[in-house]
Structure 1
Amino acid sequence: MLDKNPLDLDYQGVVEWVNKYKERERSLGHILDKPAPALLTTFYAQMVAEGSIVSNEWVRRACERHLKDLKRSEEDPDYPWVFDEEKAWRPIRFIEKKCHPTKGNFKHLVMQPWQHFIVGSMFGWVNKDTGMRRFRESLIFVGRKNGKRFAV
């Protein structure tokens, strides 16, 4: 069913196509129904870099930079930055536990892998000597109805 173009299907066919697509994405870990048990920043970057998650050039470049910087932080003793998973994970846990959606009957937010990448990148990269954040500001473009309120 997923090999068919949804634009060529009738309404019921499109509904079935979307449901099968969502189920496949859930099985691959691209869509989460409950909070992740671990930080997904690097996982998302790896999936985008290998092409498992479709993305535009800018997202792919950001993910490749994250992976390149991780490798450099391990190999180059003069590299000033390190990725601190605890510092990246802390705001994500806070958001998922304390923030509630504005609409719907939900008890908590479930951040998706792409949101983990954004928040994790902003808060996880720190100076290895001082512990100060590498990125103090971020500019994030997200289309309508794509979970902007959940990103920090």
Structure 2
Amino acid sequence: MTSEQIATKPNLKKRILAGLIDYSLMFGVALVMFLYFGEKTENGYELRGFPAFFNFLIWFGYMVGFEVKFGATLGNQLFDLRVISIKDSKTTSLTLEQSFVRHLFDILDLWFFGLLGILLIKNSTYNQRLGDICAKTIVIDTKDSKQFYKRFT
């Protein structure tokens, strides 16, 4: 893949706002789960068994499922952002594995108020955060004609 095939911009404002929407939704769901199904402990609440697994399923369905099906989570869709696979030249569609890998690294990318993610987005060749680098994906603004991934088959 050559640099002429990929053109991205950081889209930091949009990506931060989209992330806030997505993780606010996830936090809201987790909060409800903890309040209704959590077991009170000395330090707060704890989810065990099926409620904990169900919480994971909701996260997986929303973050990974939406991305694989629609190319973006709800937050990304609201800001016209799309996640594109750059793994091979045959397709731009994400695989389940790519989306899962992207989101496995969310905890690191969001560490210390998103500092690691922001630094990587601003300084990496294709404006990728750690999850994008590991999953071989990029995020583009679909309304900006200067951002693209050209496939050559």
Q: Which TM-score applies when normalising by structure 2?
A: 0.29
Q: Which has the higher contact order (CA 8 A, sep 6+)?
A: 2
Structure with the higher fraction of residues in helix conformation: 2
Structure of larger gyration radius: 1
Indicate the structure with greater strand content.
2
